[in-house]
């Protein structure tokens, strides 16, 4: 019988295979001649003289490919793509930028300028598809304050992603200091008809947090942004130019739901939480596990989330004493950087479980569906009841590695880091906890 660690990895890889983006777009976007049906939205492509595409995020390439398959051979695409990797099959008419994540780079800045230039020429006879996925907050960036440099923007992003705040709070700040977030791309294409298609890595009901909501009304306010900056002591960590801009009270409000730019704007979720849970649940059951899903730990501190999910797994074991059980969880846990090691929130979550599952017939896996975990080259990690003993025999201490934020080094030495490479997708992080009697 395969080891529990191997089974957990099989479940993860089968889940990745089930969330293919081009296939999903062909299934959920239906076209009959010039009529395109996107959920409840019906669009006659013949009503428009120009079609433009803006694709932002870790899944940008797959989403552009999927849209091209849906529309072909009706129309040729023209637009901008900003992703963390180069396109394997660039499409004619699209400008590509290999941008930075989790910190913007020069291409992130250039992509933002190219998108704003593209949208400036959009009018009532223009249809714009915005293809959004996770990571977009860093992959396209331009400050509202023209005096700020790329180095200033990079310092700001580093301060935000390491402050320990929930992603929704981080994005609230980003929206209010960026020229391309918080509904401002919709405003830039004010008169055009806009369709946003999303592959979401944010909690249900928080869709404006995806890529910092460049095409959606922003429910957060300037007051919210200021409160978050104060609560996480961010002001002193920001660059001098941004501090001056904030101190001068120049932060403008973001576009709200009643703004005219949103009257001809539509949104459709292509892939979300359920699309991740269902294949993982099915894969676990197919391997003989009684499976249960849990989405309560989103944004929880990593150690609190580990305690809660392991307790849930224990309750499942008590209910089904003679059977193998699986707990599937998603979302992003909070893991502040406390050292100069290598890793991310997924490997940190597994590391937080190592001592708790020692000696037990349990395996824990946590990995990003984008294939990237923090500043490491892995997607995440996996551990079982023997991991602690194996680590100590090699002179590795789980507690010390956690303190140094060095979970990747810990698991790579044990050969328990999970490598997928960039997947071209980005739903949510997936955690798989399995146990046998």
Domain with residue 119: its CATH number is 3.40.50.10180
240 shares a domain with 296: no
- Closest alpha carbon to 112 in 135, 85, 138, 142: 142
Cα four-point dihedral sign 256, 331, 100, 247: positive
409 shares a domain with 318: yes
Residue 231's domain comprises 33-271
Structure-token match 């409840």, residue found? 40
Please tell me the distance from the alpha carbon of residue 55 to that of residue 129, in angstroms, as a whole number. Answer: 8
In a domain, residue 39? The reply is: yes
Residue 329 parent element (H or E): strand 325-330
234 shares a domain with 94: yes
280 shares a domain with 240: no
Pull the structure tokens for residue 394: 């090699």
Confidence of residue 74 (pLDDT cuts 50, 70, 90): low
**Residue where a domain terminates, one of 271, 287, 316:** 271
204 shares a domain with 325: no
Structure-token match 């396109």, residue found? 87
Residue 378, SS3 per DSSP = coil
Residue 323, SS3 per DSSP = coil
Confidence of residue 177 (pLDDT cuts 50, 70, 90): very high
Residue pLDDT, tens place only, 377-436: 999 999 999 999 999 999 999 999 999 999 999 999 999 999 998 888 888 899 999 999
In a domain, residue 162? The reply is: yes
Residue pLDDT, tens place only, 183-220: 999 999 999 999 999 998 666 667 887 889 999 999 99
Residue pLDDT, tens place only, 323-373: 999 999 988 888 888 888 999 999 999 999 999 999 999 999 999 998 989
* CATH value at residue 356: 3.40.1480.10
Predicted local distance difference test score (pLDDT) of residue 204: 63
DSSP string, 91-148: PTTEEEEE--SSS--HHHHHHHHHHHHHHHT--TTEEEEEEEETTHHHHS--BSSTT-
The two beta strands, 79-83 and 50-56, are parallel
In a domain, residue 254? The reply is: yes
289 shares a domain with 164: no
Peptide bond into 207 cis (omega under 30): no
427 shares a domain with 359: yes
Confidence of residue 23 (pLDDT cuts 50, 70, 90): confident
Task: Name beta bridge partners: 95.
Answer: 80
Please tell me the distance from the alpha carbon of residue 336 to that of residue 238, in angstroms, as a whole number. Answer: 17
Tally of structural domains, the chain: 2
**Residue where a domain terminates, one of 212, 247, 271:** 271
349 shares a domain with 210: no
186 shares a domain with 128: yes
**Residue where a domain terminates, one of 214, 245, 271:** 271
Pull the structure tokens for residue 298: 């989103």
235 shares a domain with 87: yes
In a domain, residue 24? The reply is: no
In a domain, residue 17? The reply is: no
In a domain, residue 390? The reply is: yes
Confidence of residue 1 (pLDDT cuts 50, 70, 90): very low
Q: Which residues contact 79 (CB under 8 A, 6 or more apart)?
A: 52, 53, 54, 55, 93, 94, 95, 118, 129
178 shares a domain with 85: yes
In a domain, residue 332? The reply is: yes
222 shares a domain with 87: yes
Please tell me the distance from the alpha carbon of residue 365 to that of residue 429, in angstroms, as a whole number. Answer: 10
In a domain, residue 26? The reply is: no
Task: Give φ, ψ of 212 to 5 degrees.
Answer: 65, 30
Whether pTM exceeds 0.95 = no
């Amino acid at each position: 019988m395969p080891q529990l660690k191997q089974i957990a990895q099989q479940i993860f890889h089968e889940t990745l295979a089930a969330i293919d983006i081009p296939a999903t777009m062909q299934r959920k976007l239906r076209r009959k001649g010039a009529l395109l049906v996107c959920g409840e939205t019906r669009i006659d492509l013949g009503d428009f003289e120009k079609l433009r595409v803006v694709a932002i995020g870790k899944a940008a390439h797959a989403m552009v490919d999927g849209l091209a398959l849906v529309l072909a051979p009706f129309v040729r695409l023209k637009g901008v793509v900003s992703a963390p990797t180069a396109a394997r099959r660039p499409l004619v008419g699209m400008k590509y930028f290999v941008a930075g994540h989790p910190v913007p780079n020069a291409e992130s800045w250039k992509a933002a300028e190219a998108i704003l230039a593209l949208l400036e020429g959009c009018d009532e006879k223009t249809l714009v598809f915005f293809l959004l996925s996770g990571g977009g907050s860093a992959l396209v960036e331009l400050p509202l304050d023209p005096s700020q440099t790329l180095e200033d923007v990079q310092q700001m992003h580093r301060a935000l992603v390491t402050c320990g705040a929930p992603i929704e709070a981080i994005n609230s700040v980003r929206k209010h200091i960026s020229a391309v977030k918080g509904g401002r791309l919709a405003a830039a294409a004010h008169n055009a008809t806009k369709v946003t298609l999303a592959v979401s890595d944010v909690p249900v009901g928080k869709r404006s947090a995806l890529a910092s909501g460049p095409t959606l009304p922003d429910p957060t306010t300037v007051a919210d942004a200021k409160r978050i900056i104060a609560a996480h002591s961010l002001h002193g960590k920001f660059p001098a130019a941004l501090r001056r801009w904030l101190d001068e009270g120049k932060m403008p409000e973001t576009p709200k739901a009643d703004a005219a730019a949103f009257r001809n704007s539509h949104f459709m979720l292509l892939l979300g939480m359920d699309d991740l849970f269902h294949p993982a649940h099915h894969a676990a059951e197919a391997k003989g596990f009684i499976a249960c899903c849990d989405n309560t730990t989103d944004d929880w501190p990593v150690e609190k989330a580990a305690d809660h999910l392991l307790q849930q797994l224990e309750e499942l074991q008590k209910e089904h004493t003679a059977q193998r059980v699986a707990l599937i969880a998603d979302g992003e846990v909070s893991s502040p950087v406390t050292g100069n090691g290598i890793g991310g929130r997924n490997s940190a979550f597994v590391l937080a479980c190592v001592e708790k599952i020692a000696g037990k017939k349990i395996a824990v896996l946590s990995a990003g569906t984008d294939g990237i975990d923090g500043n490491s080259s892995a997607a995440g990690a996996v551990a079982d009841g023997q991991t602690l003993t194996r680590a100590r025999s090699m002179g590795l201490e789980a507690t010390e590695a956690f303190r140094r934020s060095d979970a990747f080094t810990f698991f790579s030495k044990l050969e328990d880091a999970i490598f997928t490479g960039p997947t071209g997708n980005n739903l949510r992080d997936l955690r798989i906890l399995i146990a046998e009697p």
